[in-house]
Copies of this chain bind each other. A is one copy, B any other.
Amino acid sequence: MNMIKGGVTAAQGFKAASCEANIKYKNRTDMAMVFSEAPCVSAGTFTSNVVKAACVQWDQKVVASNAPVHAVVINSGIANACTGKEGFDACEATAKAVEAMLNVPYAGVAVASTGVIGMQLPVEKLENGVRMMAGTLSDTIEAGTDASHAIMTTDTVNKEYAVTFEAGGKTVTLGGMSKGSGMIHPNMCTMLGFLTTDLNIEKQLLQEALSAVIKDTFNMITVDGDTSTNDTLLLLANGLAGNEKITKKNEDYAAFYTALDCVCRYLARRMASDGEGATKLFEAKVVNAKTKEDARTLARAIVGSNLSKAAIYGCDANFGRFLCAMGYSGSLFDQNDVELFFESKAGRLEVFDHGVPLDFDEEFAVRIMKESEVTVFVDMHEGNEEAAAWGCDLTYDYVKINADYRS
């Protein structure tokens, strides 16, 4: 597997475009489209929030149907959540605008939105946006990068990644982009993420791979514990790599799975480190847990705790907060089995050993925690399972961003 430059346009046959549609933001791009003339099989995972945005409900229908998918249209600024029938109609109007311009069935057009909840989308501006973008679709790397910028809200950096791998003697490409900075606590999926590949694969296996990979990638990040109404991760495969169609879990499937895990892991970590107001990537690694689910639960609780996150911001090796978070996570364990370390580029330091706090070098602890990526490493000594979770620190800027009017 090789990392290559690019994102959603890296794979053969995928084009992208973006434009200034003035949905809510001014003087910046706020719509993007991903398009494949070759029909795609699709897979998707969506928010578990029962208050689902209109676009999530639309996309669930698109992915559940066997209709080939050709396009995804995304807007940033208004989330189209809590918008009733009018919101659902806006999805349909957007898809129909794509049909009119690009001659593909509107039932194969996915839509996604991010931004403020409880506000209606301006349908004419969306339709204008689709018309502008239909004329400027391009398969260049730059077009993909531009799209990854257009879908940003409070994000401070764009997120895209691409890799190639071998399947059936053919070189296959997988790329993607994602966005997300606040209201990030994915459950069954993540904020907006769009992955494209020229792999030839059966729809059911595509979905199976995506559903498995998110468990250790997008579902292991949190910024603020708030599971969004709009979380959507879509994966489109148009088959243009020409590999023999993957219909079972063979070697080719394994190669694809590894590549998918790699791309999702990169995008997920990048979302966590760009959490609203964040100054650091905060990682928790839990090893030797009783079960995989225990390892995941404990790791997520550590990076999800407001008090842990504030300690990471303050470079305070206040390890009791991490143990406290593990304790209320819902996972059962004995504190007398636990070892806890702080880790970063600057070194590694044990602070708690089998139920007993250690005397440790506070200055060294501060040096470790001042790095831009800080890991809390926990050895449970209760089994063989491990997991990692990613979050960020809790800062003044998080409060500032979210106390500001209608962000």
Chain A residues engaging chain B, CB cutoff 8 angstroms: 47-52, 79, 81-84, 86, 116-120, 182-183, 185, 187, 224-229, 305-307, 310-311, 313-314, 316, 318-321, 323-328, 331-333, 335-336, 351-352, 355-357, 394-396, 398-400, 402-407
Contacts and interface: CB of A to CB of B under 8 A. Distances in A.
Contact of A119 (B357, B403, B406): B357
Nearest to A223: B306
Closest 5 CB pairs of A and B: A117-B320, A51-B327, A314-B403, A310-B402, A227-B328
Contacts of A396: 396, 399-400
Given A314-B402, A355-B84, A356-B84, A324 B225 contact: no
Given A51-B327, A335-B82, A399-B394, A229 B314 contact: no
Contacts of A49: 324, 327-328
A311 B406 CA distance: 8
Contact of A321 (B52, B117, B319, B405): B117
Nearest to A226: B307
B50 A226 contact: no
A332 B227 CA distance: 15
A336 B84 contact: yes
B224 A324 contact: no
A224 B403 contact: no
Nearest to A81: B320
Contact of A116 (B83, B318, B328, B332): B318
A351 B406 CA distance: 14
A318 B51 CA distance: 15
A391 to B, nearest CB: 12
B399 A357 contact: no
A326 B224 CA distance: 15
22 contacts: A50-B327, A50-B332, A51-B323, A79-B320, A82-B323, A82-B352, A83-B357, A116-B318, A117-B318, A117-B324, A118-B319, A118-B357, A119-B320, A187-B328, A224-B307, A226-B325, A306-B398, A307-B402, A311-B403, A318-B407, A395-B399, A396-B396
Nearest to A230: B324
A316 B402 CA distance: 9
A363 to B, nearest CB: 12
Contacts of A306: 224-226, 306, 398, 402
Given A313-B403, A403-B314, A183 B307 contact: yes
Nearest to A187: B328
A79 B399 CA distance: 28
Contacts of A227: 324, 327-328
Contact of A226 (B119, B187, B305): B305
A162 B226 CA distance: 38
Nearest to A366: B405
Nearest to A116: B320
A315 to B, nearest CB: 8
Contact of A320 (B52, B229, B357): B229
Nearest to A228: B324
Contacts of A405: 314, 316
Given A83-B357, A324-B117, A399 B398 contact: yes
A310 B403 contact: yes
A260 B402 CA distance: 38
A102 to B, nearest CB: 32
A357 B120 CA distance: 8
Given A116-B318, A117-B324, A226-B305, 13 more contacts: A50-B327, A51-B323, A51-B324, A82-B319, A84-B336, A117-B321, A120-B357, A226-B321, A227-B324, A306-B402, A310-B398, A316-B403, A396-B400
